[in-house]
């Protein structure tokens, strides 16, 4: 290793990167340092982004908000704007690792790692998040669905950093749901997760649905087919049973050390059944409290 650079401003960062274009970026280091520790990566220069204030914090821009790419998960959870307007993202963040990991790990790091098990990703997909990418003399915005290309692969170009995330302030969703089925207790990596946003009319029929599953494909999986199926239907259990059958077909999980593909397929459908619980009705945006999901994603 030739050095670790800790720039404190964008100007210093671009200077370091022009001198060391091969420099490997990191923020909290909770993913990168593990990969280095395992010998999967041997960088000669590391460039830390976490001391650059412009890359941290949440800004209200009227009809949308900007989340700095190096904001830690814990700092985002302290923001009323996130908890009140984007509870689904707050739920995803809460499910990450342990308090220690949430204090160190950042939103940008979770996105660039591009793991199908990344807990902020399903919420960011259903929120139609846009990624702000910055280079020394460039700036572009890319929808998250286009930014993430595969496991560990993104559209981040040489010389660019992830500057932040844009979220639109949409009309409130009546149902905002995130659930992660993992191995029990702290530090569980998701075996399957589901983020769901629903708009429901006064007569109880679904007007719009956005769904995204984690850990059941090479990237986050959405299913326009299931979303279309739900429109015009009631929130009753029969709807979710049928939707669950469609969802189990839509996902493309693999076997790994944490779960088999068939188990993941079953849980992907079962998680939808959680949305038939009456607790969701009339509780716009409130996280579901007080009951547990079993290993197959069924509510108890």
Ligand X SMILES: Cc1cc2nc3c(=O)[nH]c(=O)nc-3n(C[C@H](O)[C@H](O)[C@H](O)COP(=O)(O)OP(=O)(O)OC[C@H]3O[C@@H](n4cnc5c(N)ncnc54)[C@H](O)[C@@H]3O)c2cc1C
Q: How many residues bind ligand X (CB under 6 A)?
A: 31
Q: Residues 129 to 148: which contact ligand X by CB under 6 A?
A: none
Query: Least distance from C-beta 175 to ligand X, angstroms?
Result: 23
Nearer to ligand X, 135 or 284 (CB): 135
Q: Residues 281 to 300: which contact ligand X by CB under 6 A?
A: none
DSSP string, 91-142: HHHHTSS-HHHHHH-BHHHHHHHT-TT-TTHHHHHHTT-EEEEEETTEEEEE
Question: 56-84 burial by CB neighbour count: b if 16+ within 10 A, else e?
Answer: bebeeeeeebbbbbbbbbbbbeebeebbe
Stretch of residues binding ligand X (CB under 6 A), selected from 56-64, 155-163, 246-254, 273-281: 155-163
Which of 81, 142, 189, 299 binds ligand X (CB under 6 A)? It is 189
Nearer to ligand X, 30 or 223 (CB): 30
Q: Output the residue with the shortest Cβ distance to ligand X.
A: 109
Nearer to ligand X, 32 or 200 (CB): 32
Query: Least distance from C-beta 119 to ligand X, angstroms?
Result: 4
List the structure tokens of 36. 């280095």
Nearer to ligand X, 161 or 220 (CB): 161
Q: What is the dihedral of CA 172, 125, 144, 151, to 10 degrees?
A: 160
Which of 4, 19, 149, 187 binds ligand X (CB under 6 A)? It is 187
Query: Least distance from C-beta 100 to ligand X, angstroms?
Result: 8
Q: Residues 63 to 122: which contact ligand X by CB under 6 A?
A: 69-70, 96-97, 101, 104-106, 108-110, 112-113, 118-119
List the structure tokens of 180. 């992660």
Nearer to ligand X, 69 or 217 (CB): 69
Q: Are strands 45-48 and 3-5 parallel, antiparallel or unpaired?
A: parallel
Q: Residues 200 to 229: which contact ligand X by CB under 6 A?
A: none
Which value, in Å, is the radius of gyration of the alpha carbons in the chain?
19
Residue 162 binds to ligand X (criterion: CB under 6 A): yes
Site track 19-38 with ligand X (rule: CB under 6 A), x = hit: -----xxxxxxxxx-x----
- Side-chain half-sphere of 214: how many Cα atoms within 13 Å? 29
Query: Least distance from C-beta 234 to ligand X, angstroms?
Result: 33
Query: Least distance from C-beta 162 to ligand X, angstroms?
Result: 4
Q: Give residues with Cβ within 8 angstroms of 242, minimum separation 6.
A: 229
Q: Give residues with Cβ within 8 angstroms of 209, minimum separation 6.
A: 196, 197, 198, 199, 226, 227, 230, 231
Count of C-beta atoms within a 10 Å radius of residue 218:
16
List the structure tokens of 134. 């910055």
- The SS3 call for residue 214 is strand
Q: Report the candidate in 114, 3, 7, 100 with the shortest Cα–Cα distance to residue 50.
A: 7
Q: Which residues bind ligand X (CB under 6 A)?
A: 24-32, 34, 49, 69-70, 96-97, 101, 104-106, 108-110, 112-113, 118-119, 156, 161-162, 187, 189
């Amino acid at each position: 290793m030739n050095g670790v650079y800790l720039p404190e401003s964008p100007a210093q960062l671009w200077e370091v990167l022009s001198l060391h274009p091969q420099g490997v970026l990191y923020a909290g280091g909770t993913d990168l340092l593990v990969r280095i520790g395992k010998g999967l990566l041997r960088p000669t220069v590391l460039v830390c982004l976490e001391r650059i204030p412009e890359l941290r914090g949440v800004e209200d821009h009227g009809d949308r908000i900007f989340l700095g790419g190096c904001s830690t998960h814990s700092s985002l959870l302290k923001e009323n704007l996130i908890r009140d307007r984007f509870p689904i993202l707050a739920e995803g963040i809460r499910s990450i690792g342990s308090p220690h990991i949430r204090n160190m790990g950042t939103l940008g790091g979770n996105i660039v790692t591009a793991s199908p098990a990344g807990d902020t990703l399903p919420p960011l997909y259903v929120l139609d998040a846009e990624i702000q990418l910055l280079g020394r003399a460039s700036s572009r915005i890319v929808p998250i669905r286009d930014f993430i290309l595969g496991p560990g692969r993104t559209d981040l170009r040489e010389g660019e950093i992830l500057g932040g995330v844009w979220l639109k302030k949409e009309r409130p969703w009546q149902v905002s749901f995130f659930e992660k089925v993992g191995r029990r207790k702290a530090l569980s990596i998701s075996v399957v997760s589901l983020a769901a946003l629903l708009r429901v009319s006064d007569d109880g029929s679904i007007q719009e649905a956005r769904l995204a599953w984690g850990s059941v494909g090479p990237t986050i999986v959405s299913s326009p087919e299931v979303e279309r199926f739900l429109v015009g239907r009631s929130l009753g259990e029969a709807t979710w049973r049928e939707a669950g059958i469609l969802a189990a077909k839509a996902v493309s999980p693999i076997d790994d050390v944490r779960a088999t593909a068939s188990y993941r397929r079953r849980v992907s459908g079962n998680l939808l059944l959680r949305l038939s619980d009456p607790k969701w009705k009339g509780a716009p945006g409130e996280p579901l409290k007080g009951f547990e999901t079993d290993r197959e994603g069924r509510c108890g």
